[in-house]
Amino acid sequence: MGTDLTYTISYGKLQVPFYRVYARPLAGIAPIPESAFTGRENTLFAMEVDVEVFGQRFLPAYTAGDNTLVVATDSMKNWILQQALAYDGATLEGFLDLVARQLLSGYAHMEALRVTGRELPFAAVPVPGSGPGVFGASDVLFSHARDDYATAALDYARADDGGVTLTGHRCARVGLQLLKVTGSSFTRFVRDEHTTLPERADRPLSIALDVSWRYAHPAADLLGPDVARYVATEQVRDLCQVVFHEFVSESIQHLVHEMGQRILARFPQLVEVAFVGQNRTPDPVAISPTDARIRVYSHPFPAFGLITLTLTRQE
Closest by Cα among 98, 94, 92 to 80:
98
> Is 182 among the catalytic positions?
no
**CA–CA gap between residue 51 and residue 114 (Å, rounded):** 6
Helices (H), ranges, 123-232: 218-221
- 201 SS3 class: strand
If 0-12 CB within 10 Å is exposed, 13-18 middle and 19+ buried, where does residue 273 land?
A: buried
Spell out a b/e string for 114-148, using b for 16 or more CB atoms within 10 Å of the CB, else e. bbbbbbbbbebeeeeeeeeeeeeeeeeebeeeeeb
**CA–CA gap between residue 41 and residue 20 (Å, rounded):** 12
**CA–CA gap between residue 224 and residue 219 (Å, rounded):** 6
**Which residues sit opposite 114 in a β-bridge?**
52, 155
> What is the sign of the dihedral through the CA atoms of 98, 48, 113 and 59?
positive
> Is 312 among the catalytic positions?
no
Of 8, 13, 151, 195, which residue is the catalytic one?
13
Give, in degrees to the nearest 5, the angle at Cα 176 between 171 and 177: 170
Of 38, 43, 73, 165, which residue is the catalytic one?
73
Q: Phi and psi dihedrals of 172, rounded to 5?
A: -160, 160
**CA–CA gap between residue 142 and residue 121 (Å, rounded):** 9
Residues with a catalytic annotation lie at 13, 73
